[in-house]
Amino acid sequence: MLNRSIVSESFMYKTNEYNFRQGFLEENTVKRNSLFVRIDHWCNVFKTYLKLQENDKIMLYFNQNSLDTIAIYFAVMECDLNLVEQNADILLHTLADSQLEKLNFESVKTYNYFDLADIKFNSKCTYEQKGTSVLYNQNLLDISINKKFKIKGNVLHTKYLNTSLFFDFFLPVMSSDKISFHSALGYTNVNQGLQKIASVIQKLNIDNIVLPNIETINELQKICQQKNIELSNKKIITYDDNGLCYNFIDGLKEIEDDFLKKLPAKYNIDGKILKDGDDLYFQFNFQIDKNIAKTKVKSINALLDAKKYNKISKWAVLNQNDHDEALIIFRNLKW
């Protein structure tokens, strides 16, 4: 059964100067037992403080990762909570209030990570895991760890917005004894965040970097070229339509449907079409009258229908340049 027992005996976590928990005890260089202390804390948060029941649905929205992010994933498993991307009972997040408003979670209880991270408990949570949870639509007892996973050296964890990265990278790398140390970071603004990530890669001599999509890898490449940071000997891990990718920077190109990419310009619209499995969403990059937006989307849908594409099912005005974060917002919009 998946729980803290899978964590490698050689696990070590090392913070960096940009981490939002720097200065707290868990954000020093720590080993496996310190991670377990934080898992215990979050089990207490879920069961003792929030009083969550077996198979309650929790959604995580972290724009930056830390040791606690790792601990929270394991606490979710051990408390038999269902990890979801939409239709949650509660949302645990690191968002500012202004960002949270975009997600339209009127019917969901929301808890800011910072309000829960330092609650003091007098005893250890005594809940015993049953193994009934469902993690991103997969039953816990049916999940197996990829034993052929070959990553070694230093790892920088960033965003796990693409849930496939959770299964295909996070779980295998947490159980690997070939990792020298783990570190974590993230971003709200893509460019500013990747500037910091580039510095951490250089200062900590990171060997493996997990990034949520090819878009961010392309941006990291540009920044590292400007800063003369060598990436040719680094392994960049992401996910695309073909599965988990070990992307070495040379020759990397963004994979995208060219027709969908050019369609907004055809209608003189500053915006983009987002593909989410079989669903299409339209992101307007500027404020637009609701009726005008409906008319424009209707016209685009007529062409999509003629070209045998699915129609746009949702549209919104978003100031959002991170593809995966935009998808999360669209998935949770109530239409």
- Least confident among 36-45, 64-73, 223-232: 223-232
Q: Where is pLDDT greater, at 2 or 257?
A: 2
Do strands 235-240 and 243-247 pair parallel, antiparallel, or not at all (unpaired)? antiparallel
Mind listing the pLDDT tens digit for each residue in 154-197? 999 999 887 888 998 999 999 999 999 999 999 988 889 999 99
Overall domain count for the chain: 2
Domain membership flag for residue 177: no
Number of H helices, E strands in the chain: 11, 16
CA angle 58, 6, 176 (to 5 degrees): 115
* pLDDT of res. 209: 93
Domain membership flag for residue 48: yes
Pair 52, 58: CB distance under 8 Å: yes
Tokens (6 digits) for 71: 């601990």
- Residue 5, pLDDT > 90, answer yes
Amino acid making up residue 74:
F
- Residue 334, pLDDT > 80, answer no
User: Which range of residues forms the domain containing residue 264?
Assistant: 258-331
89, 119, 143 — which closes off a domain?
Answer: 143
Domain membership flag for residue 90: yes
Domain membership flag for residue 170: no
Domain membership flag for residue 60: yes
What residues contact 193, with CB distance under 8 A and at least 6 apart?
185, 186, 187
- How many Cβ atoms are within 10 Å of 236's Cβ, its own excluded? 20
Domain membership flag for residue 319: yes
Cα distance from N-terminal residue to C-terminal residue, the chain: 38
Closest CA to 51 of 5, 133, 107, 109: 109
Which of 13-27, 131-145, 230-244 has maximum average pLDDT? 131-145
- Residue 250, pLDDT > 60, answer no
Q: Where is pLDDT greater, at 257 or 3?
A: 3
Is the same domain home to 139 and 262?
no
For residue 171, the surrounding DSSP H or E stretch is helix 171-174
Tokens (6 digits) for 212: 């949520």
Domain membership flag for residue 279: yes
Pair 47, 125: CB distance under 8 Å: yes
Measure CA 260 to chain center: 25
HSE toward the beta carbon, residue 38, CA cutoff 13 A: 24
102, 117, 143 — which closes off a domain?
Answer: 143
Mind listing the pLDDT tens digit for each residue in 279-320? 899 999 999 999 999 999 999 999 999 888 999 999 999 877
Q: What is the mean pLDDT of the chain?
A: 89
CATH at residue 30: 3.40.50.980
Domain membership flag for residue 235: no
- Residue 221, pLDDT > 70, answer yes
pLDDT confidence tier of residue 99, bands split at 50, 70 and 90 = confident
* pLDDT of res. 190: 86
Closest CA to 67 of 19, 112, 129: 19
CA distance 136 to 130: 18
Amino acid making up residue 329:
I
* pLDDT of res. 243: 63
- Residue 247, pLDDT > 60, answer no
Q: What is the mean pLDDT of residues 25-47?
A: 95
118, 143, 168 — which closes off a domain?
Answer: 143
